Structure 1
Amino acid sequence: MSVEDSQSFKNFLRVDQRQFFYLLELTKNDISKTENPMRSTISAEERLAVTLRYLATGESFRSLGYSFRIAHNTLSSIIPDVCTALFNALKHVHLKVPSSEAEWENIAREFMERWNFPNCLGALDGKHVVLQAPFKSGSFYFNYKNTHSVVLMALVNANYKFIYVDVGSNGRVSDGGIFRDCTLRSAMEDNSLNMPGPRPLPGRERDVPYVIVGDEAFPLKEYLMKPYPQRSGLDDKQRVFNYRLSRARRIVENAFGILSNRFRVLRSPILLSPQKVEILVLCCCALHNFLRPDFQVAVTECETPREIGTGMVSLSSQGYPSSQNARDIRDEFKEYFCTNGQVPWQTAT
């Protein structure tokens, strides 16, 4: 296929020939094995190809063994090793958390240009990665969807790229609970990531901090915006805010969809230990960013007009306490979306 049908090659491995040999060059020293005089070793090219095919399809090791003529028990050691090598080779460039004001401001600019949400540094959410229940794990990995899983917590930029990932929490824990204990929360609270300081929204006067956006599974913080709860009834401005926030927040949902459709191993239960699932998911995230095209702004996306009161239905509130300052910041975004920052499709024409 590499020689005769390049499109089929890309569909088979999810990378084209140039990308495949680039990844091979990055990982060859780590995945090659010393030649054995008693028998020939499996080449680095074969190791990389069978790993990419497994990530692309989620086939069982026995099925892959018939395709590649490699024993299934050999594949059970090859694939985790190659995933580890790929992640280690790509993470410093393609899965790097921004660490300067200029990098964060570039993300905020892209969110404003593409999704009309100012002072936004990313969209946050969690995805359950289903796995076979580990031996003697009981209900430790059992989640509310009645499956066993580990959680991928991710912060995504405006171009569907992961800028922070946390993998490995058991499926019983809520998104809010995972965020409470993850390194992103502590880094944002002590500003160790050099995020830019507060500034007014376009056309407004009050300084507001840069924020990330999430759904109602998360707590409302000065640096984390979530929708107004619907249990007490919403006025028109609050509904507009919820719609505009959901419009920016759905980017992380879309990123999970792109990730799962490209690497279909994530669409069915993974028959590996939680530790191997963790490195597999990290590898998929790094490859996803490696394969994403650079962000380009053409025309701001326009949508059909919507009626006030329609749109995404928020989740039930988790009851997290929030400070008055956090609520005031959300109100400032609400006023902006209904004045200087309104877009024609957020209400009925």
Structure 2
Amino acid sequence: MQYTTYATGGSRIASVFAAYIAGDIPSAIPIKMSTEEECILLLLLHRQQQRRKRRDRRWYVRPLNTTRDRDGEFVSLVLPMRSLDEERHFQYFRMSAPKFDDLLSRVIRYLPDSHQNHRNPIGASQRLAVTLRYLATCIGLQALSASYKMGTSTVSGIVEEMCSAIWDALQGEFMAFPSRGQWQDMAEEFWRQWQFPLCVGAIDGKHVRLRAPARSGSDYYNYKGFFSIALMAAADANYRFIYVDVGAYGRESDGGVLGRSAFGSRLAEGNLNLPAPAVLPGTTTPSPNFFLGDEAFPLQVNLMRPYPGSNLQDRKRIYNYRQARARRVVENAFGILAARFRIFGRPIDCQPEKAVKIVKACVALHNFLASTERARYMPASFVDTTADTGEVQPGEWRQHVEGDRNMVDGPRCSVGRARPSQRAALVREQLADYFLSDAGVFPHQYNVLRLGTDQ
């Protein structure tokens, strides 16, 4: 219905509408209107009333926030901290001032220009500071908005907008899908650092807790008894994420999330462009390249999982120990992520769509800092290490996340207990034999037999 023509074309409705707006009701009453004209008039009056409500708010900027440029936290703390206290700057943002500037130069081109239309636009550096502070701490939006002297809805919008820009700016360089040559380099790094041959990455899944989404039913309600989204990821030997899949329903298992993802489909079909099968180091035995997963994943040619059961032969226990030792990289990657970005220390208080953007931004920042500021972001003491005896020494990140209930493991998947193919089982058997040979033995692997554990 083209009601706008009635309001602008000099019709009877236009005159009645003008009389109502001017408050001259008696002059409008004698005019008789059809039912259609009455409906159009009511719609116009309703829209006019909504415009008045928007105009009639108490203030454009809350009076307390008008001094943001003089005594807000960005001016009073962040700017002085850049030159006066480098250590505090890192603790505050999880990055140094030069790295903050580097990130800002990458992100700024992905930000919309809508803020320039505001009376007192908030600069990109301050918006980035607000977002990084929100991700690095457990602080709520209201407390953050009060310290930076902004409206709560303003801060919420800034965080969502900036998280999208961070992912767009960093994804191409620090989360790009590996080429065949890069897969080969990852496999060599796993062998050098973790003595596990032909492994290109370790896979695991976590549940990221969030508030109950409106009208979501039981889709996001997981087996732990709370609402969450699934975070599936693969990590390389240096604790960097190779791939992430964020946003699946919390009720799904790790194996189910992997199977439904594009990555999982390509993995099962052998379309990840992995290097051609190669021989195990020091032998003539050929083997494909593969990922490592835990019991939640199915055994596939390109995805190894531990031997199931408890009363296992020694060779199987040694294999499980060697796989658990190498797969520890993805556990550490998740732990470092949660320790550095404390937004994961509590349930994320937003809708799933926004939570996905927050998680993806944190993952991209993790890879960005692990690649460009590794010594400070995750020093040697921050990650798990192995002593000369072969015993694992817990990293400092575990102290930071102790007591957290947000990022938890997903449920086991029934498909993981399905009968594997003969070829996949043969690959695992060859690896188990290889770890007992002179070429593949790890000096401390037999300690696991004396300790009575596979971990």
TM-score by length of 2: 0.71
The CA distance in 2 between the partners of 1:256 and 1:108, in whole Å, is: 20
2:337 corresponds in structure 1 to 259
RMSD across aligned positions (CA): 2.1
Q: Alignment length, in residue pairs?
A: 336
Change (3 A) 1:182 1:8: same
Report if aligned partners of 1:129, 1:150 keep a CA contact under 8 Å in 2.
Answer: yes
Match of residue 327, structure 1, among 425, 442, 448? 425
Change (3 A) 1:67 1:316: closer
Match of residue 343, structure 1, among 442, 448, 453? 442
Matches within 5 A, 1:29-68: 29-31=109-111, 33-36=114-117, 39-68=119-148
Matched, 1:89 2:187: no
Change (3 A) 1:219 1:191: closer
The CA distance in 2 between the partners of 1:342 and 1:225, in whole Å, is: 19
**Secondary structure of 1:142 counterpart:** coil
The CA distance in 2 between the partners of 1:293 and 1:245, in whole Å, is: 25
Per chain length, whose mean CA-contact separation is higher, i.e. which structure has more relative contact order (CA < 8 Å, sep 6+)? Answer: 1
Stretches of structure 1 lacking an aligned partner (at least 5 in a row) = 307-314
Change (3 A) 1:7 1:239: same
Choose 1 or 2 for highest CA Rg.
2
Greater Cα shift, 195-204 or 123-132: 195-204
Report if aligned partners of 1:199, 1:207 keep a CA contact under 8 Å in 2.
Answer: yes
Report if aligned partners of 1:115, 1:301 keep a CA contact under 8 Å in 2.
Answer: no
1:100-159 Cα deviation digits (max 9, x unpaired): x21111000110000000000100000111100101223211112222110110010000
The CA distance in 2 between the partners of 1:327 and 1:193, in whole Å, is: 21
Match of residue 146, structure 1, among 225, 232, 236? 225
The CA distance in 2 between the partners of 1:75 and 1:317, in whole Å, is: 39
Report if aligned partners of 2:115, 2:122 keep a CA contact under 8 Å in 1.
Answer: no
The CA distance in 2 between the partners of 1:134 and 1:332, in whole Å, is: 47
Change (3 A) 1:316 1:163: closer
1:118 corresponds in structure 2 to 197
Report if aligned partners of 1:126, 1:152 keep a CA contact under 8 Å in 2.
Answer: yes
Matches within 5 A, 1:1-349: 1-31=81-111, 33-36=114-117, 39-99=119-179, 101-230=180-309, 233-293=311-371, 302-305=387-390, 318=414, 319-339=417-437, 340-348=439-447
**Secondary structure of 2:231 counterpart:** strand
**Secondary structure of 1:153 counterpart:** strand
Change (3 A) 1:265 1:175: same
Greater Cα shift, 246-255 or 133-142: 133-142
TM-score by length of 1: 0.91
Which residue identity lines up with residue 143 of structure 1 in the other structure?
Answer: N
Instruction: Report the alpha carbon displacement of residue 189 of structure 1 after superposing the two structures with TM.
Output: 3.7
Report if aligned partners of 1:167, 1:282 keep a CA contact under 8 Å in 2.
Answer: yes
The CA distance in 2 between the partners of 1:147 and 1:260, in whole Å, is: 19
Change (3 A) 1:228 1:150: same
The CA distance in 1 between the partners of 2:281 and 2:424, in whole Å, is: 19
The CA distance in 2 between the partners of 1:242 and 1:199, in whole Å, is: 22
Report if aligned partners of 2:255, 2:412 keep a CA contact under 8 Å in 1.
Answer: no
Report if aligned partners of 1:160, 1:255 keep a CA contact under 8 Å in 2.
Answer: yes
Between structures 1 and 2, the one with greater helix share: 2
**Secondary structure of 2:245 counterpart:** strand
Change (3 A) 1:34 1:317: closer
The CA distance in 1 between the partners of 2:323 and 2:189, in whole Å, is: 15
Stretches of structure 2 lacking an aligned partner (at least 5 in a row) = 1-80, 392-410, 451-455
Report if aligned partners of 1:302, 1:345 keep a CA contact under 8 Å in 2.
Answer: no
Which residue identity lines up with residue 91 of structure 1 in the other structure?
Answer: Q
Instruction: Report the alpha carbon displacement of residue 205 of structure 1 after superposing the two structures with TM.
Output: 2.5
Which residue identity lines up with residue 330 of structure 1 in the other structure?
Answer: R
Which residue identity lines up with residue 116 of structure 2 in the other structure?
Answer: E
**Secondary structure of 2:318 counterpart:** helix
The CA distance in 2 between the partners of 1:305 and 1:103, in whole Å, is: 29
**Secondary structure of 1:345 counterpart:** coil
Greater Cα shift, 42-51 or 287-296: 287-296
